[in-house]
Amino acid sequence: MSLENQLSLDGLEGYLQQLSWRNRNFYRSWLAQTYYYTSHSTRLLEFCEFYASDAEAAQRYREHRQEENGHERIALSDLRRLDADIVHYGEQLSTRTFYWEQYEVIRKYGDRPFLGYVLMLEILARDHGPYIFNEVRAAYGDRSANFLKIHVEEDVDHVNSAIRLLETFTDSEKSKVLENFNWSINAYKAILDECRSSIKEAPNENLAAV
Ligand SMILES: [Fe+2]
């Protein structure tokens, strides 16, 4: 099986489509948790740079860090536009697990496996971002969908360059990337599950009037 076929999120389609993107409370929770884990993107890339064994890789992490810089604030401003304040949303345990594991992986195995986490998020944005973006846009308008808009637009190119990079890895590095990719899918699903259970506890606010 080709590398590209192994890096598939096709199995997530049905799962993502049955989530309540048009439920304002669900989308708020998702934005808040997105804010928490994206707050670690530049730190994780800095950590990778520290562990990188060659100058080229270090440079790539620096460039990627610039691209990710400030993205957490976009999630935060989308949240504000839905009249919600991050102080009312704690960081879920599933969210902390999602990014914290990456520090552990990098510390134990070096920077290379981190590409599995990056690819999971970028392929998610490329393959499923357009559906989620359309749901959210239909429900709340463009103003609260900037985080999704940016990632749907940018991550198509990012996936291609990440796969080209992965092809230069050794077989054992590739298998660590795949392992991390698959781990990250399940950890990300746990975040969505926790967002979903958090809205069950809150009154159901099924959009409509914006
Ligand atoms: Fe980003």
Domain span at residue 180? Answer: 20-201
The predicted-structure confidence for 104-156, as pLDDT tens digits, reads as follows: 999 999 999 999 999 999 999 999 999 999 999 999 999 999 999 999 988 78
Smallest Cα–Cα separation from 109: which of 170, 65, 59, 160?
170
Which residues are within 5 Å of ligand 1 (an ion), measured at CB?
68, 71
Question: Lowest mean pLDDT: which of 18-32, 46-60, 66-80, 152-166?
Answer: 152-166
| Residue 1, helix vs strand vs coil | coil
Count how many domains the chain has. Answer: 1
Note whether residue 13 is domain-resident: no
Note whether residue 107 is domain-resident: yes
- Interhelix angle for 24-38 vs 114-140, to 10°? 150
pLDDT at 204: 52
**Percent of the chain clearing pLDDT 90 (strictly above):** 86
Note whether residue 1 is domain-resident: no
Q: Are 176 and 150 contacting, i.e. CB atoms less than 8 angstroms apart? A: no
CATH number at residue 189: 1.20.910.10
90 Cα–ligand 1 center, Å:
21
34 Cα–ligand 1 center, Å:
10
Kindly state the DSSP code that residue 70 receives in the 8-state scheme: T
Q: Are 17 and 83 contacting, i.e. CB atoms less than 8 angstroms apart? A: no
Note whether residue 3 is domain-resident: no
Can you tell me the distance from the alpha carbon of 9 to that of 181, in angstroms, rounded to the nearest whole number? 10
68 Cα–ligand 1 center, Å:
5
Q: Which residues of 19-50 are buried (b: 16+ CB within 10 A; e: fewer)?
A: bbbebbbbbbbbbbbbbbbbbbbbebbebbbe
Note whether residue 73 is domain-resident: yes
Note whether residue 94 is domain-resident: yes
Computed over its alpha carbons, how large is the radius of gyration of the chain? 17
